[in-house]
Amino acid sequence: MGETLADNVIYRNVYAFVEGALGPDWAWAAYAAGGLAIILLVANGVMAIGTGYTWFERRLLGRFQGRLGPNRAGPFGLFQPIADAIKLISKEDIIALGADKVVFTLAPVVMLAPTILVLAVIPFGSGSWLADLNVAALYIAAVSGIATIAVMMAGYASPNSFSLFGSMRAVAMLVSYEVPLVMALLGVTILAQSMSLVDIVEAQALPFLIVTPLGALVFLAAVSAELNRAPFDVTEAESELVAGYMTEYSGMKYGVFMLAEFTNTVVAGAIFAALFLQGWKWAVLPSHLWFLIKVGGFVFVAVWVRATLPRFRLDQILSAAWKYLFPLSLLNAMLLAAEVIIWPERGAAELGIMAAVNWAVSVPAALLWSRAVSLRSAPPTLAALSPRAFSGAAGRARQAPGGEAAPDSAARSAGTEGG
């Protein structure tokens, strides 16, 4: 364990200031103020990075698609995120007639909450983290599950069938992919013999990406689905559902959804870097910079995948989770458990042997299993997709036909994704 909260410079200064101003009886207020100062700094810093990341993603997508991407606002279009934010803030904030106003307004907030909560356990650099929880890996899975509820709130509160279908799809997908995600986390936990992200980083004499390629693959796929990123973005498939659960949202409420989505990608990169890429560890450069570079690497791969693969159908996505990723993650966990028993002490040499064994098993397993499980099954029948299955809520949604919001949403998606 490195330093604790009391060692933090910001915390100490804020604590001393508040205690000095109010007297020793107010130590609890000083404690709260110091903690809040750090939380404010970290949360806003990461959200700023998430906002800046929109520029990175759109420029990169432009390269992949043989066009320029945003290039008008500032040098290389660098001020595009700021222009976007100003546009979103100044747009009219519409709450559709017949919406459940309170739930509708709260949904984006609930969506953003897990993004910020996850930051608590991420080690950003050597000796710099907010909390070294001994259940951090489980905490990440638990907290990110709250986003599911936000999606349901948005879908249910909007008087629109597209929103409802989008949220139904999202929930089916999020719940399914939580299983391989947790199994991949289990593999890493077995290897590091701890759920604390700090211990996991310390245990990586070799990056776990090399030691457990299958776990990294499953985690990458599951996390892309949890992030609603292409090729798993059926929940907001603009060619089918307008914008899914976000259809009725406009102005800054929509902006908060987008902020959560992009920040989530960066945060997922941070989690991936800590779990599989040795976190902050490497030589020469300062540890925080290394961490940022690794996050950038993850994000680059995420954009690359988005630009390369077409969108899957929902039933293909669900089959992939249950028939392909889940058995592979089980195999991965059992393999690692056996290896941990064989090599109780794991330095770089032992991890190297394990890596060799794991690669020899996982590559054939992944290839053979993909042959065995064909995802080219027939599409589901119309009867299975009938809105009668959701009679209660769908009946409510039918009162206001969904077509009304379409022009605005189309303009919106063109504005943010076209670039």
Partner 1 sequence: MAFDNLFSEIVFWFLAAASVGSAALVVRLRSIFRAALMLVVSFLAVAGLFTMANAEFLAVVQVLVYGGGIAVLVIFAVMMTRDVDQGNQATAVQPVALALGAALLGALVYSVAQAEWALLPESLPAPLAAVFVETPARLGRLLLSDYALAFEAAGVLLLAAVIGALSLVREREAPEGDDA
Is residue 227 close enough to count as binding partner 1 by CB under 8 A?
Answer: no
Shortest distance in whole angstroms from residue 233 CB to partner 1? 20
Distance CA 288, CA 279 (A): 9
Candidate list 28, 72, 283, 284; residue touching partner 1; CB under 8 A: 28
Shortest distance in whole angstroms from residue 375 CB to partner 1? 11
Which residue reads 């299975």 in tokens? 384
Shortest distance in whole angstroms from residue 378 CB to partner 1? 6
Peptide bond just before 231 cis, omega within 30 deg = yes
Sign of CA dihedral 336, 342, 346, 347: negative
Is residue 263 close enough to count as binding partner 1 by CB under 8 A?
Answer: no
Distance CA 229, CA 170 (A): 11
Alpha helices (H) in 277-325, listed in sequence order: 287-308, 314-319
Shortest distance in whole angstroms from residue 103 CB to partner 1? 7
Residues 6+ apart with CB under 8 A from 218: 180, 181, 183, 184, 325, 328, 329, 332
- Residue 13 or 308 having the CB closest to partner 1: 13
Residues 6+ apart with CB under 8 A from 40: none
Please return the burial class of 67, using the count of CB atoms within 10 Å of its CB with bins 0-12, 13-18 and 19+.
Answer: exposed
Distance CA 324, CA 149 (A): 26
How many residues touch partner 1 under the rule CB under 8 A: the total is: 42
Is residue 378 close enough to count as binding partner 1 by CB under 8 A?
Answer: yes
Per-residue x/- mask for partner 1, residues 98 to 137, rule CB under 8 A? --x-xx-----------------------------xxx--
Distance CA 26, CA 34 (A): 12
Candidate list 85, 357, 393, 406; residue touching partner 1; CB under 8 A: 393
Chain positions 277 to 336 lying near partner 1, rule: CB under 8 A, are 315, 318-319
Shortest distance in whole angstroms from residue 363 CB to partner 1? 27
- Residue 107 or 220 having the CB closest to partner 1: 107
- Residue 311 or 398 having the CB closest to partner 1: 398
Strand-pairing partners, residue 128, are: 125
Is residue 142 close enough to count as binding partner 1 by CB under 8 A?
Answer: yes
Distance CA 225, CA 311 (A): 11
Shortest distance in whole angstroms from residue 182 CB to partner 1? 9
How far CA 270 is from CA of 68, 78, 120, 184, 208, in Å, comes to: 28, 23, 12, 16, 14
Q: Which residues bind partner 1 (CB under 8 A)?
A: 27-28, 31-32, 100, 102-103, 133-135, 138-139, 141-143, 145-146, 148-149, 152-153, 156, 171, 175, 178, 195, 315, 318-319, 377-378, 380-381, 383-384, 389-393, 395-396
